[in-house]
Amino acid sequence: MNSRSLKKFNVKYGPYALVCGASEGLGAAYAEALAKRGLHLVLVARRKDLLENRAKELKEKYPVDVICLPLDLGDYETAKRRIGALEVPIGLLVYNAAYCPIGLFEETSEQQLARLVAVNITGPLLLTRLVSEAMIQNRRGGIVLMSSLAGGQGSPRLASYAASKAFNAILAEGLWKELKSRGIDVIASCAGAILTPGYKQAQHARAPGTLQAAEVAEKTLHMLGKGPIAVPGGVNKAARFLMSRIVPRKSAIAIMSNNTGALS
């Protein structure tokens, strides 16, 4: 980005960005992409040591302030209290935190399902409500929610996770229209496979269209303000079009079943 674009980005979404799930993988990539653009950061994740190491790296590399909030986004009341107590203005929310139980639905416990709802649905829904209040008053800001290509249709062995990602995409589309007139940009990033530590652990072979985390973060931020949905990567764009517009629904589910069969 040139200096004029960087200044515009900072005015629109600064001075602080709240990045959830920021200790590693895609969340860490978002944090770096935003620090590179000059935004100060509030980083949220469960693991304090990883979070503080990441903050130290970013402060050494970029002239930005980094605040660490080690907390579990599955506990919204605690998250609300600690984020609500921040004395810095949040101009951008990136909700990247997610919980993904892998396996057959019948083998997924009630506790796992409850945690999925808390982290993947309740968290982004209520946190968006919380931080958007000040954004509406200031008539500027941005919200990035993470969806997934898995949420475009039923995804066996990821059924509950895929459903939660579909929720985030539809939420973002509705808020994109509602909040646009208030000066707030909303986008859902419908990413495919991303080379994160969690993905490498769960998937034994690289799926078509797999991207580096930094590329997903950059492409999503580039699309912020240009529409309600971002699909990083040419292969993923083609796959989403094919699965949602061309292939019959039953066939799309069968294709996803083939792709998720190797997850463990």
Helix/strand/coil (H/E/C) assignment for every residue in 13-36: HCCEEEEECCCCHHHHHHHHHHHH
Q: Which is catalytic among the residues 62, 76, 99, 161? A: 161
Q: In this structure, which topology does domain 3-260 adopt according to CATH?
A: Rossmann fold (3.40.50)
pLDDT along the chain (264 residues), means of 10: 86 97 96 97 96 96 97 97 96 97 96 98 98 98 97 95 98 98 97 72 62 95 97 92 92 90 69
What is the predicted pLDDT for the residue at 260? 83
What is the predicted pLDDT for the residue at 15? 97
Long-range pairs of 3-11 with CB within 8 A, sequence gap ≥ 24 = 6/37, 6/38, 9/37, 9/38, 9/39, 10/37, 10/38, 10/39, 11/140
What is the predicted pLDDT for the residue at 94? 98
Question: Is 161 an annotated catalytic residue?
Answer: yes
